[in-house]
Amino acid sequence: MTLNKIRNFGIIAHIDAGKTTVSERILFYTGFLRKPGEVHNGEATMDFMKQEQERGITIASAAISCGWRGHRLNLIDTPGHVDFMLEVERSLRVLDGVVAVFCAVGGVQPQSETVWNQANKFGTPHIAFVNKMDLEGADFDRCVDMMDDMLGANPVRYQLPYYKEGNFQGMADLITMKLLSFDNGRCEEKEIPEELLESAKKYRGELIEKLAEFNYELLEAYLEGKEEFITQELLRKTTAECVQKALITPVFCGAAYKNIGIQPLLDAIVDYLPDPVNAGQTVGTDSELKGKNLVRKPTASSPFSALAFKIIHDPFVGQQTFVRIYSGKITSGDTVWNSTKKKKERIGRILRIFAKDREEIEEASAGDIVALIGMKATTTGDTLCSAEHPIILENITVPPAVISVKAIVPNRQERDKLGNSLKKLLLEDPSFTFHFDEETEEAIISGMGELHLEIIMDRLKNDFGVNVQAGQPSISYRETITQEAVSNMKYVKQSGGKGHYAHCVLRIEPNVAGGFEFSETVKGGVVPKEYIPAVEKGIKDALNEGTLAKYPVVDVKAVLLDGSAHTVDSSEMAFRTCGSMAFKDALKHASPILLEPVMKIEINSPDDYLGDIIGDLVRRRGKVSNMRRFRKGSQKINGTVPLKEMFGYATSLRSLSSGRANFSMEFFRYEELPISMSEEIIKAAQEKTKV
């Protein structure tokens, strides 16, 4: 299939906006399904995990291929819950376009903004679909206004909803100026009724006026009043150009559950979202990371390059590595180069994925999203490429884990089973981490939120058969320093044979820019150049455990000032050990403090409960940054609040608002923990060490 016949797109939305239902209807109308599955009864094709079916939400992004009007649509349905934002992030990294689904009643909701901003981060073109137009309280115009005010989407109406006797029946198409009427899912073109015609003409005029800003031919026809030159083809062509440059957001409407509006949406996906060629060439860096930019054109004849964006362990075929191919082609049995890991990988099989089902194919080329079988070293974010033309593509950003839970197992045998299972899960989901506390022999699992950890524990029990229980959740604190300190450290050890000698003079200071930085000002070669990287490695080792409560250390600059070496006894290991010791020594004298994760929170609440909700938020050490009108009688509250204070908040909010308020939370940054709380945590850590 030629590249201009491929559309790689995803569906993004706030939770419960209906994106999985939209996906199911897309599969039904493209002929992939004989009957669409429903989310509420656990039959959705895209939500095939047991945990998704039980909860009625999307947890993992699911990929599927289907066809429409001779085009191949590679669709990825993404989660809407904030705990699974990595799934959205890595999907958007490899997609050429998105359909943003909005609830006609809720409008732009908290996660709508988050996923929209994620799409903007990658410059991903988008079209909008206002779903649930059949519900009481649906307001198409308010949704469009919210997209403009809150997202800066530059929305343009391409359809107007049509109601008959209070029931949503279809929509007026402003390109064809026809009414699209739906009867049992069948779409029929009719003349626009008289009562809707004036509005349709008004908004068609606005559509043409907006597009004319970006197309001279259209502008000329519009200004001269030559309506006959403003053809449907010209409007569609101009729309596609504007969408691909993210200049406008065409807005469509429908009711997916009632099978209304899906066929026109499919037409819009084919007509307006970019194909791999229009999405543009891919830019990466040379594999030696010297900063040189390399370009790969999206053609089968270009050198092969692909990004691994997701890994799934399938009980029948083993590890599936999902890749987006940006250039070149591959065949089953080929050997490719993992430029991130600097290892060869052999492709055993190539699969085209249909949610939980699969089809084996012999080859795949630029523009394809496929799963590879046989990858041994490849993980999420790795680049696969031709060994003769190495390249490293932009990686996938993994947000920090902010909440932890103990995974308690009854014996050592189960502990080994737990460790192996967690390693497999980690390959699938890099947004959680784990480590074993050697003193207590407990596994500590850290993730993005309470639901995230709940899902991990559920999968350990049901998917991997581990006899595990969850302990009390805890917070992933960090340590940092508030002032400069210097350490003069010597590491000398004699063991009968060759000894160990290293000497480092190290200065550490707060890093206002964030992160860890290392530099050196050694003069005269007193520390040989070949040992300086070992000092840096030693410092990085020491960053994993601070001196206050053994939490990781962040936001520090380290400068190697001086030192000395022995011609016989010095080695890389000696300087690595000395670097670690010097850092730990300096850390004690740099006024270290504890940091806690602080979350951005957005609460949607009716006006009647605002006082109680804000008062409760302040008691939780929260800060309100702004409030704005959400809809008539309701407001959005934006602010920040420490994660420590938010356990069980969903239950409290329901109680405060009689179940009418909802909230969304995501990680914001780490901030200094109050002294009284800091002392409690340090004391608890010291007592644990004594035990």
What's at 223, amino acid-wise?
A: L
Note the pLDDT tens digit of each residue in 622-657: 999 999 876 677 888 999 999 889 877 877 887 888
Quote the longest CA-to-CA distance of the chain: 100
How far CA 680 is from CA of 115, 323, 402, 591, 676, in Å, comes to: 37, 47, 19, 17, 7
Place of tokens 């669409």: 36
Cβ atoms of 218 and 230 closer than 8 Å: yes
Residue 363: strand, helix, or coil = strand
Q: Where are the alpha helices (DSSP H) in 485-557?
A: 532-543
CA dist 18 and 140 (Å) reads 16
- What is the DSSP code string of 179-218? EEEEETTEEEEEPPPHHHHHHHHHHHHHHHHHHHTT-HHH
Question: According to the model, what pLDDT value does residue 618 have?
Answer: 94
Dihedral-angle region of residue 318 (phi above 0 means left; psi in -120 to 50 means alpha; beta otherwise): left
> Which two structure tokens, joined as six digits, stand for 610?
């605002």
Q: Of the given ranges (191-195, 204-208, 381-385, 422-426), which has the lowest mean pLDDT?
A: 422-426
Reported as a pLDDT band with limits 50, 70 and 90, residue 252 is: very high
CA dist 483 and 474 (Å) reads 28
Percent of the chain with pLDDT over 70: 91
CA dist 56 and 70 (Å) reads 33
Give pTM, 2 decimals: 0.70
The Cα angle at residue 244 between residues 239 and 249, in degrees rounded to 5: 60
Question: Residue 185's CB: how many other CB atoms inside 10 A?
Answer: 14
- DSSP code, position 304: P
How far CA 238 is from CA of 177, 230, 390, in Å, comes to: 17, 11, 37
How far CA 689 is from CA of 167, 436, 596, 664, in Å, comes to: 67, 15, 21, 37
Reported as a pLDDT band with limits 50, 70 and 90, residue 689 is: low
| Mean pLDDT for the stretch of residues 463-480 | 86
Query: Quick check: 223 pLDDT over 90?
Result: no
CA dist 158 and 250 (Å) reads 6
Specify which of 7-11, 20-24, 251-255, 649-653 reaches the highest per-range mean pLDDT: 251-255
* Mean pLDDT across the chain: 87
Closest among 350, 348, 357, 395 to 375, alpha carbons compared? 348
Tell me the sheet residues that pair with 373.
320, 349
Which burial class, exposed, middle or buried, applies to 175 when counting CB atoms under 10 A from its CB (0-12, 13-18, 19+)?
Answer: buried
Contacts of 228 (CB under 8 A, 6+ apart): none
For 119, the enclosing helix (H) or strand (E) is: helix 110-121
| Mean pLDDT for the stretch of residues 580-599 | 94
Q: Is the dihedral of CA 247, 251, 256, 262 positive or negative?
A: negative
> Which two structure tokens, joined as six digits, stand for 543?
């960053």
Q: Is the dihedral of CA 338, 341, 344, 346 positive or negative?
A: negative
Question: According to the model, what pLDDT value does residue 48 have?
Answer: 44
Reported as a pLDDT band with limits 50, 70 and 90, residue 40 is: very low
Displacement of CA 524 from its chain's centroid (Å): 48
Displacement of CA 574 from its chain's centroid (Å): 41
Cβ atoms of 86 and 118 closer than 8 Å: no
Q: Are strands 357-361 and 349-354 parallel, antiparallel or unpaired?
A: antiparallel
Count, in order, helices (H) and strands (E) of the chain: 16, 38
Q: Are strands 126-131 and 97-103 parallel, antiparallel or unpaired?
A: parallel
Question: Residue 410's CB: how many other CB atoms inside 10 A?
Answer: 10
Note the pLDDT tens digit of each residue in 498-508: 789 999 999 99
How far CA 345 is from CA of 319, 339, 341, 378, 641, in Å, comes to: 13, 10, 10, 8, 45
Q: What are phi and psi of 183, to 5 degrees?
A: -135, 110
3-state SS of 490-531 is EEEECCCCCCEEEEEEEEEEECCCCCEEEEECCCCCCCCHHH
Cβ atoms of 33 and 304 closer than 8 Å: no
Question: According to the model, what pLDDT value does residue 291 have?
Answer: 62
Question: According to the model, what pLDDT value does residue 80 have?
Answer: 61
Place of tokens 């270290």: 592
The Cα angle at residue 47 between residues 41 and 53, in degrees rounded to 5: 40
Question: According to the model, what pLDDT value does residue 328 have?
Answer: 95
CA dist 162 and 96 (Å) reads 31
Q: Where are the alpha helices (DSSP H) in 122-261?
A: 140-151, 194-212, 216-223, 232-244
Q: Where are the alpha helices (DSSP H) in 544-571?
A: none
Note the pLDDT tens digit of each residue in 555-571: 999 999 999 999 888 99
Tell me the sheet residues that pair with 326.
none
CA dist 489 and 583 (Å) reads 9
Q: Of the given ranges (72-86, 193-207, 276-290, 585-599), which has the lowest mean pLDDT?
A: 72-86
Query: Quick check: 278 pLDDT over 50?
Result: yes
- What is the DSSP code string of 633-671? TEEEEEEEEEGGGGTTHHHHHHHHTTT--EEEEEEEEEE
Query: Quick check: 42 pLDDT over 50?
Result: no
Question: According to the model, what pLDDT value does residue 52 have?
Answer: 46
Tell me the sheet residues that pair with 160.
172
How far CA 150 is from CA of 114, 138, 144, in Å, comes to: 11, 18, 10
CA dist 47 and 62 (Å) reads 7
Place of tokens 């609830």: 103
Q: Of the given ranges (162-176, 347-361, 502-516), which has the lowest mean pLDDT?
A: 347-361
Query: Quick check: 56 pLDDT over 60?
Result: no
Note the pLDDT tens digit of each residue in 80-113: 666 677 778 888 888 999 999 999 998 988 778 8
Based on C-alpha coordinates, what's the Rg of the chain? Answer: 28
What's at 358, amino acid-wise?
A: R
For 55, the enclosing helix (H) or strand (E) is: helix 50-55
| Mean pLDDT for the stretch of residues 41-69 | 60
- The better pLDDT of the pair 314, 27 is held by 27
Question: According to the model, what pLDDT value does residue 463 have?
Answer: 84
Query: Strand runs (DSSP E) across 339-389, as ranges?
Result: 343-346, 349-354, 357-361, 363-365, 369-373, 383-385
Reported as a pLDDT band with limits 50, 70 and 90, residue 47 is: very low
Question: According to the model, what pLDDT value does residue 281 have?
Answer: 87
Closest among 140, 84, 142 to 111, alpha carbons compared? 84
Query: Quick check: 591 pLDDT over 70?
Result: yes
Q: Are strands 71-77 and 6-13 parallel, antiparallel or unpaired?
A: parallel
Closest among 19, 18, 12, 17 to 87, alpha carbons compared? 12
Q: What are phi and psi of 345, to 5 degrees?
A: -130, 135
